[in-house]
Amino acid sequence: MKRISLIIAVLSLFMPCTLRANDNENASQYTFRGVVVDETGSALTGASVRVAGTTLGAGTNAKGEFSVRLKEGKYTLVVSFTGYATQEYPVTVPQKEALTCRLQPSDNDLDEVVVTGTRTEKPLKDVPVLTRVITREQIVKLNPVNLQTVLEYELPGIQFGRHHGTGLPTLTFQGTEGNYVLFLIDGERAGGEGAADNTDFDRFNIDDIERIEVIKGAASTLYGSNALGGVINIITRNANRPFVGSVSGQYSNRNAEKYAVSAGTKLHRFSSYTTVGYRKKDAFQLSDTEGTKTIYERPDGSAEVVTGATSTTSISGYEIWHANQKFGYVFTDKLSAELTGSLYQNRMINADKSAKTQSRFNDYTLNVGLNYIFNVNHRLDFSYYMDDFIKYTDYTVADRSKDKTFDNFNHVFRLNYTGNFLEKHTVTAGAEVNLESLKHYMFEDTTKHNVESYVLYLQEDWRVTDNFSLVAGVRADHHSRYDLHVTPKVSLMYKLSDFTLRGGYASGFRSPSLKELYSEWNHQGMFYLVGNEELKPETNHHFSLSSEYTKGVFNASVSAYYNKFSDKIAMTGGQNEEKKRYEMKYVNADKARTTGMDATAQLRFRWGLSLRGSYAYVDDHNNVEGHNTSNVRPHSVTFSADYSRMIGNVCPSLSFRGRWMSSVDAWNKATDGTFYYRKYYSRTICSLNGAVRFPRGLRLNVGLDNLFNFKDRNVASDTSISPEQGIGFTCGLSVNIADMFRL
């Protein structure tokens, strides 16, 4: 109740100003009209037109037309469209004639505006922090079923595996595990857990994603705990024209289905966008193609090779519902608000028909935002975000109904200020309150535990010269268990002709999770998983250096990084003589480090062909008595070729994607002191997708996944990979209703 009262109090502060301003807004307003076209004069549908220094804006209809209500005066319109260079147009109201905005194609992705690296809108080419953007266009060409597929094909150095207990996906990125990579939805932390401290990746609806922004390396200064290895920010879609609406369906011969419906509007002061999605896939089983080879290194110095029998593993299916609703309203040219809510439900389907239980995941979110723009240089944002992630166990055979086994509740209150000074300084300052509660089946008597943190952060983006920029920031977190923690960072960028050099240092931290602190769980009588209230927060120091070259349609970059961890949380096993049981306990382990480099090259020709290739090297070390126990594959490559071209009123396209990961020998230690390793073999997975876009918003696509029918040798025992089922055929149809009726 206190939290709701706080929200109402903040809203009440804005309301009197809003009512008075609305009275003034109704006086002497004019409708400013224009049209946005490409270099050939063809209309650009869904282009964004924003009035600089205000909350006002509009989207273009099927004819490229837009209109916005303005008072008499002089303004600057900022016009943008994906794949085109953003343009600014000074205008005077009332106007004498309609404005024509002609945009030119961009040779590369560097004109894309991003927000994650600095919490302020900035073209990718001007961001000192290493950032990668996966656009909506790239997602559509890949024709993926889920987020996991997108990240695997687009990001070198990312590896998805499978939890040995639940079978749910796990993640490593540049050598760091999933709990060191922070997932955001529109800048807000995605709560909950899928498996082994990883995010539930299925909660992200692929049809609702506008773009994905990826920050490599520590970003705790802006985003707090868990952002030691990187940040992946999912930016969701909005209504970008007077009416939007679409229907799509996709089917795979692996008995997977996906359907989505969306509708929305952006008219004058009001906007709304609604999406509903449904996905399902049957469970299946996979078998090894050969026996697993294990090489033992005995304490006496002898060695032994043991080949096991082939085995079979079960992969769970799913049935998923998504729903998302956004409302926006512009009260005045200074004040606007947005309300967003979402629902996610996932029922896991067991491959074993005799299983007595199955898991069900639910997630509910609510996001309230208020934005006040003083002028073109100063703005203030307030937001409240709630995320409630729940796991259930459904008893399908036993005489019980539904048991809530996990409930993770998060509240985040944030006040953020952004100001531009002397045309060279951009200051970002903010305060946060983070409240988290967790009820977990691993807690004794399923007790609910709580934690709070209070945050202040400050960052300056200083454009020292036209070629040299510096970003420096600091964050202070006061944690209810760990008191004050300070996290600094600094990033530098220098432009020299066609080259851009970036370098930086960032400190990261991760507070022990409530599960790591308070677990007391009997794992089927085999061992106890025990928390540790004496755990210290993990910290790291991340150093990076990169060089980027851009010349016309060619873009290439090389980056290197060094990530050093202290007090990294690990698990140790041993006999508890007092309680007469074997325990796996969370402890702060020795220091760990990860070193690596990335290289990317891209060619994007204006006649329709795009080529991209990326390589990543990761040197990850988790040493145990001189043996590296990491199963991170050191080398990985992603590559793609896309071609599309208008032929009359029809636009066919073809997209080829591929990813390769090297082999790795991963060591383990048995309870008798014997060390052993298994070789995880290299793998190559490719996909081919073709599509035809017809007039009136009709799009047909077909695709082949795992094009060359790659099969893993030891899929049952190799949990470091995401299993492949064999060649998969996919077909889909989508209809853009707004384009069909020329709206």
Rounded Cα distance, 89 and 633, in Å: 50
Using an 8 Å Cβ cutoff, are 316 and 349 in contact? yes
Using an 8 Å Cβ cutoff, are 694 and 650 in contact? yes
Residue whose pair of structure tokens reads 């944002």 in the numeric block: 381
Using an 8 Å Cβ cutoff, are 560 and 545 in contact? yes
Whether the bond into 94 is cis, omega within 30 of 0: yes
For 148, the 3-state DSSP assignment is helix
What pLDDT sits at residue 19?
A: 41
Q: Which of 120-134, 340-354, 387-401, 498-512 has the lowest mean pLDDT?
A: 387-401
CB atoms within 10 A of CB 416: 19
How buried is 19 (Cβ within 10 angstroms: 0-12 exposed, 13-18 middle, 19+ buried)? exposed
What pLDDT sits at residue 395?
A: 60
At residue 330, does pLDDT exceed 50? Answer: yes
For 124, the 3-state DSSP assignment is helix
At residue 583, does pLDDT exceed 60? Answer: yes
Look at residues 258, 63, 404, 318 and name the one whose alpha carbon lies nearest to residue 734: 258
For the chain, count helices (H), then strands (E). Answer: 6, 51
Q: Which of 361-375, 557-571, 648-662 has the lowest mean pLDDT?
A: 557-571
Rounded Cα distance, 169 and 191, in Å: 16
On average, the pLDDT of the chain sits at: 86
Half-sphere exposure of 489 (CA within 13 A, CB side): 36
What pLDDT sits at residue 571?
A: 79
Confidence of residue 36 (pLDDT cuts 50, 70, 90): very high
What pLDDT sits at residue 545?
A: 94
Cβ-based neighbours of 239, under 8 Å, separated by 6 or more: 59, 264, 265, 266, 271, 272, 273, 326
At residue 264, does pLDDT exceed 80? Answer: yes
At residue 645, does pLDDT exceed 50? Answer: yes
Write out the H or E segment, with its range, that includes residue 704: strand 698-705
Using an 8 Å Cβ cutoff, are 229 and 222 in contact? no
CB atoms within 10 A of CB 153: 23
Confidence of residue 394 (pLDDT cuts 50, 70, 90): low
At residue 9, does pLDDT exceed 50? Answer: no
Tokens standing for residue 616: 């990543």
Per-residue model confidence as pLDDT tens digits over 102-122:
998 887 777 778 888 778 888
Cβ-based neighbours of 676, under 8 Å, separated by 6 or more: 294, 295, 296, 297, 667, 668, 670
Residue whose pair of structure tokens reads 């799009």 in the numeric block: 699
Rounded Cα distance, 66 and 209, in Å: 24
Rounded Cα distance, 431 and 433, in Å: 7
Per-residue model confidence as pLDDT tens digits over 696-712:
889 999 999 999 999 88
Using an 8 Å Cβ cutoff, are 319 and 353 in contact? no
Using an 8 Å Cβ cutoff, are 635 and 175 in contact? no
Per-residue model confidence as pLDDT tens digits over 156-177:
888 888 887 777 888 888 888 8
Confidence of residue 249 (pLDDT cuts 50, 70, 90): very high
What pLDDT sits at residue 623?
A: 67
What pLDDT sits at residue 355?
A: 67
Whether the bond into 299 is cis, omega within 30 of 0: no
Look at residues 517, 540, 541 and name the one whose alpha carbon lies nearest to residue 530: 517
What pLDDT sits at residue 16?
A: 44
Using an 8 Å Cβ cutoff, are 491 and 507 in contact? no
Look at residues 163, 126, 196, 190 and name the one whose alpha carbon lies nearest to residue 502: 126
User: Which is it for strands 698-705 and 728-736: parallel, antiparallel or unpaired?
Assistant: antiparallel
Confidence of residue 657 (pLDDT cuts 50, 70, 90): very high
Domains of the chain, earliest start first? 2-105 (2.60.40.1120)
At residue 18, does pLDDT exceed 70? Answer: no
Rounded Cα distance, 234 and 212, in Å: 5
Q: Could you tell me what percent of the chain has a pLDDT over 90?
A: 43
Of 61-70, 433-442, 652-661, the range with the highest mean pLDDT is 652-661
At residue 222, does pLDDT exceed 80? Answer: yes
Tokens standing for residue 612: 């991209």
What pLDDT sits at residue 358?
A: 77
Mean pLDDT within 469-496: 92
At residue 15, does pLDDT exceed 50? Answer: no
Per-residue model confidence as pLDDT tens digits over 198-218:
888 899 999 999 999 998 888
How buried is 521 (Cβ within 10 angstroms: 0-12 exposed, 13-18 middle, 19+ buried)? middle
How buried is 158 (Cβ within 10 angstroms: 0-12 exposed, 13-18 middle, 19+ buried)? buried
Mean pLDDT within 426-448: 88
Rounded Cα distance, 183 and 172, in Å: 13
The CA R_g of the chain, rounded to the nearest whole Å, is 26
What pLDDT sits at residue 388?
A: 95
Rounded alpha-carbon distances, angstroms, from residue 243 to 58, 135, 508, 525, 742: 11, 22, 43, 59, 10
In terms of pLDDT, which residue wins out, 311 or 667?
311
Confidence of residue 11 (pLDDT cuts 50, 70, 90): very low
Mean pLDDT within 413-426: 93
What pLDDT sits at residue 607?
A: 85
CB atoms within 10 A of CB 356: 13
Tokens standing for residue 246: 């679409």
Rounded alpha-carbon distances, angstroms, from residue 247 to 595, 649, 726: 45, 21, 29
For 15, the 3-state DSSP assignment is helix
What pLDDT sits at residue 565?
A: 87
At residue 26, does pLDDT exceed 60? Answer: no
DSSP 531-570: --TTPPPEEEEEEEEEEEEEETTEEEEEEEEEEEEES-EE
Using an 8 Å Cβ cutoff, are 443 and 467 in contact? no
Write out the H or E segment, with its range, that includes residue 514: helix 514-518
Confidence of residue 354 (pLDDT cuts 50, 70, 90): low
Q: Where are the alpha helices (DSSP H) in 33-128?
A: none
Per-residue model confidence as pLDDT tens digits over 292-309:
888 887 777 777 888 888
Rounded Cα distance, 114 and 131, in Å: 9
Confidence of residue 6 (pLDDT cuts 50, 70, 90): very low
Rounded Cα distance, 683 and 685, in Å: 7
Rounded alpha-carbon distances, angstroms, from residue 628 to 87, 163, 176, 212, 594: 52, 20, 15, 33, 12
User: Which is it for strands 303-307 and 312-315: parallel, antiparallel or unpaired?
Assistant: unpaired
Look at residues 210, 206, 186 and name the one whose alpha carbon lies nearest to residue 46: 210
DSSP 466-496: SSEEEEEEEEEEEETTTEEEEEEEEEEEEEE
For 21, the 3-state DSSP assignment is helix
What pLDDT sits at residue 739?
A: 87
User: Which is it for strands 651-661 and 244-252: parallel, antiparallel or unpaired?
Assistant: unpaired
At residue 597, does pLDDT exceed 90? Answer: yes
Look at residues 11, 64, 25, 9 and name the one whose alpha carbon lies nearest to residue 330: 25
